[in-house]
Amino acid sequence: MASLLFSLLILALCHHVNSQDLSSDDQTILLNLKHHWGDPPSLDSWNSLSSPCNWPEIECTFGAVTSLRLAGKNINGTIPTTICYIPSSLYNCSNLEILDFSRNVISGVIPGELFLMKRLRQLSLYGNRLFGEVPIKIESQSLTYMDLSDNQLNGTIPDEIRNLNLSVMDLSVNSFSGSIADGVFRIHRLYYLPLAYNNLSGELPENMSLFSLQSLNLTHNRLYGTIPKGYQKLVRLSSLDLSYNQLSGDITDNMFRMRSKMSVIRLCFNKFSGKIPYELLDQSYTEHCFDVSNLCSDNRTEGLPGCPSRLCNSNYRIRSFLKCRVKHDKKHLLIIISVTIGCGIMGSIIIFYYLARKCLKMMHERMKILPSNVNNQEKEWEMISFQKLDFNETDILSSLTNDNLIGNGGSGSVYRVIINQSTGHTVAVKSIRNERKSDERLEKEFLAEIQTLGIIRHYNIVKILCCISGNNMKLLVESSPVSISSITKLDWPMRLRIAIGAAQGLCYLHHDCSPPIIHRDIKSSNILLDSEFNSTPKISEYAYTSKVNVKTDVYSFGVVLLELTTGRKAISGDDHMNLAERVQMHYREPSYLVESILDDEIKESSYLDQIVAVFRLGVMCTTTSPSNRPSMRDCVNILQNCTKKNSSSRSMIW
């Protein structure tokens, strides 16, 4: 069935035609495909009145299709059996350079003919239900990017893959087994290699030719043996994840000497022994992960040099190496500081309130709001930094005064602290007080959450600068936002930029963080803009069930899209139904007109198609069945297709 899908689509890519028009037969084939897929809203532009070369998913060069992007189109269903099989010889004539079928529900095996297309440069099939082995016959010398991740592929990774000129090869989250083929480590131009979450076993290959490799991820496999000496040749390597395997050996070997450029080193949940090299301790702003139990002589950690901050308590898994003071009290004050981003045009920055919600949920039973003054607090503090700072704990604590208090609410107090008067560098301090002795397990869970959030690096997500520990608990987050729900008027281009930026941040949390991070509180009052902090957002009253997962976030994000397009509140006090329920009830009615519910302030003819597309995406996101909701990757793709101009806004998840 999958072969029929690929064969059918590539038929339309092999013909040379005049101008920007494909043959009517090709158009008919593609439109039939759309119909058999259930006419998904994401393919609304596919119609008989326009040339396929004018469709957003297709790019043509001199009348020949060179790019077909169907990522995140919510394509499902079966392929009609009446479609003919395309001979393999036709693949050789294809001008296709980019083929993207990612984030759909395509099943079956990968046709070997795909790797016979001599001009193919990018192949993206991730996030489907493909199974079977990777074809052995590989002749696509032009292929530089191949992403087959998040499928059900099995068997061994073919050694013939060495014949490719790949720069990126992602085979993670599959069921590949056996040892890693030597050919994988002989692709000279490869710089990004995730093989995580498979069933790979055996020892790591000794001979390495990956002189361009920058990122290697082998976590969650069954690899054993030692780290070969050949890994010292990976001079450009900046990220290494070998965690959750059965690797062993002395970690003090020369593997990590002169690793000044390493930003990520994860070796935890293995069987390593020995002392951690001093070179790693000097990298205060590098993410590290080791197993304390296998690197220490006893509970006093005699096998570890220095005083890594995570060893202030015994039995911690080390995630960072920073200086720390000896602790005199078991209670902690934790302060999380986030980067301040300078404000630009109104709406250029949006922030979701995530961090406080995530951590407060864990500490709900043992916290209360910290008073506005801290004169009676203890004088001993411990600062854990996640990156280089231009301030210390004294700068923060001395500024927690009533004059700097900008908000009080059920989740805590918020202070605005100006770090540098000349530059205007400002941070916001979210404070929470612990009035009784902390539970050690919850304390460790909280620290683990903070450490995970501290290493997140994404332009749509607030960066955490540091954590200060004392008798109480504190959170510091980004200042200077204002809720979009308090803005009286936003034009459509601004609303679309807000939607795209928010979707990108959520997409990162859902798909690029391992394990995925669930926001749990997406709503318009938590989408923040500009220069003033909204300190009392309402608690969401919709989309929460006993089973919270990423599709819960998708539902809530869909509600925000409905608000942006209709101008109506998600929940109205004088209505027994919320906005999503009302839309879902009327949307399927034959006489229902989408235009009738759109916000009159933005309903301009030049933007109407975009507004309708975003509204329909909101409907898809809020459908009753979670399995039928798109992923956040799908949402990003659909929203970006609504405009040909890249958004200049920066949106952040808070």
* Secondary structure of 523-557 in HEC code, one letter for each residue: CHHHEEECCCCCCCCCCCCCCCCCCCCHHHHHHHH
Percent of the chain at pLDDT exceeding 70:
53
* Confidence class for position 482, pLDDT limits 50, 70, 90: very low
**504 and 633 belong to one structural domain:** yes
Computed over every residue of the chain, the mean pLDDT equals: 67
- Its domain, for residue 184, covers 160-324
- Better pLDDT: 278 or 150: 150
Model pLDDT, residue 250: 79
**270 and 368 belong to one structural domain:** no
Looking at the predicted structure, is the pLDDT value of residue 504 above 60? yes
In this structure, what CATH number is given to the domain that contains residue 137?
Answer: 3.80.10.10
In this structure, what CATH number is given to the domain that contains residue 396?
Answer: 3.30.200.20
Cis peptide, bond prior to residue 80, ω within 30 of zero: no
Looking at the predicted structure, is the pLDDT value of residue 81 above 70? no
pLDDT in tens, 199-215: 999 998 877 778 888 88
Mean pLDDT: which of 60-69, 394-403, 543-552, 566-575 is highest?
394-403
Task: Cite the annotated binding site for ATP by residue number.
Answer: 430
* Confidence class for position 198, pLDDT limits 50, 70, 90: very high
Torsion on CA atoms 337, 343, 348, 349, rounded to nearest 10:
10
Pick from 91, 123, 155: which residue ends a domain? 155
Percent of the chain at pLDDT exceeding 90:
7
**Distance (Å, rounded) from C-alpha 152 to C-alpha 148?**
10
Pick from 98, 121, 155: which residue ends a domain? 155
Amino acid present at 184: V
Model pLDDT, residue 492: 86
Q: Are 68 and 8 in contact (CB under 8 A)?
A: no
* 512 included as an active-site residue: no
pLDDT in tens, 173-192: 899 999 998 888 888 889 88
**13 and 110 belong to one structural domain:** yes
Residue 451 neighbours by CB under 8 Å, 6+ apart: 310, 319, 320
**442 and 538 belong to one structural domain:** no
**499 and 535 belong to one structural domain:** yes
Model pLDDT, residue 357: 43
The total domain count for the chain is 4
Of the residues 26, 150, 521, 553, only one is catalytic, namely 521
Nearest residue to 244 via CA among 192, 286, 289, 211: 289
**149 and 164 belong to one structural domain:** no
User: Which of 36-45, 166-175, 382-391 is least confident?
Assistant: 382-391
Task: Cite the annotated binding site by residue number.
Answer: 430
Q: Could you identify the residue written with the tokens 């070369």?
A: 53
Structural domain includes residue 329: no
Mean pLDDT of 422-436: 66
User: Which of 174-178, 220-224, 485-489, 579-583 is least confident?
Assistant: 485-489
